[in-house]
Structure 1
Amino acid sequence: MRVGITGHRGLGADVERRVREMLVEAVSAYDAAELVGVSCIADGPDAWFAEAVVEHGGRLEVVIPAAGYRDALPERHHVTYDVLLGQASEVHETGMGESTSEAHMAGSEILVGLSDVLLAVWDGKPARGFGGTADVVAYAERSGTPVRVLWPECATR
């Protein structure tokens, strides 16, 4: 089972805790021997999901939206990014150089294409910018990839 992830970054501590629990629960429902997690490993849900997949014993595949993607992520996340990238069994790239919204969406489209199901840490609201979580969910739905939304009750961004 190939499971992709998309989700909001910059969540508060309480929402983060609850989302992490939801991701661990979702990942634990899959047979570790058959689980392939697909992630862009950005800070937030992408990385939390990837960590849960690896801890569960599944394989991790990483999609890199652009050559400059890592450097565009918060510096505090670089060590986690590097560790997760090092644990990837396969890495997919868009071939784009600059880490732009267009590159992020291109990476998400590859991710959706590789996934049997997409987990979306999504509050159900429109994207704040092109390539946001809502855009990825809409793309998955148009592509026929099932989407499972994970969002804590009464949580806000």
Structure 2
Amino acid sequence: MTTIAVTGHIRIPEEDRAWIRARLDRLLGDHPAADLTGVSCLAAGADTLFADAVLAAGGRLVAVVPSADYRERMVAPEGRPDFDRLLAAASETKVMPFRQASAAAYAAANRVLLGRADRLVAVWNGRPGRTGGTAHTVAAARAAYLPVTVVWPPGAGAVPGASAP
């Protein structure tokens, strides 16, 4: 059994989505469907692209929801159909014990992701960011000697709203 977790940017430029999805499909396609589990918080962007790729590969999806109010508070109305669809498709759902979405809830969800994973896929431009964000999760994975695969299109532009170096 191979368990792969995801972290990554929420806002991914539209022109980069197809490249990222194709790369995720190739990465996940290297694993037999019966042995593949993907772990995701189902956020827009990287998490959703990854979750869809796991399901397309025939793998098992585990959803880690950071807080009880995550959908209402943090998922944009236009992203709720994808969130709901993926949550319904998940073989397992873990809702973290936080009533409200917060940095602590995200950090706890990321610890669960890393604790369950054999590998982390980071859909990430390599730049530093906020505490509990993608860069922080990648650093924690590397500190725990968890293999990390970074997926980002060569020469791709900056992510809107991401921190600059």
Q: Distance in 2 between matches of 1:145 and 1:124?
A: 17
* Number of the residue aligned with 2:76: 74
**Alignment partner, residue 57 of structure 1:** 58
For residues 108-127 of structure 1, the aligned pairs below 5 Å read 108-127=110-129
RMSD of the alignment, in Å? 1.0
**Equivalent residue of 1:11, what SS?**
coil
Counterpart for residue 154 of structure 2:
153
Map 1:7-156; keep pairs closer than 5 Å: 7-71=8-72, 72-127=74-129, 129-156=130-157
> Which consecutive residues of structure 1, in runs of 5 or more, have no partner in the other structure?
none
Q: Report the TM-score when normalising by structure 2.
A: 0.91
Letter paired with 2:4: V
Distance 2:138 2:45 in 1: 17
5+ residue gaps, structure 2:
160-165
The CA deviation string for residues 106-153 of structure 1, in whole angstroms up to 9 with x for no partner, is: 1111111110000001111101x2211000101111222111111110
Identical counterparts, % of pairs: 37
Alignment length (residue pairs): 156
Measured in 2, the distance between the counterparts of 1:131 and 1:22 equals: 25
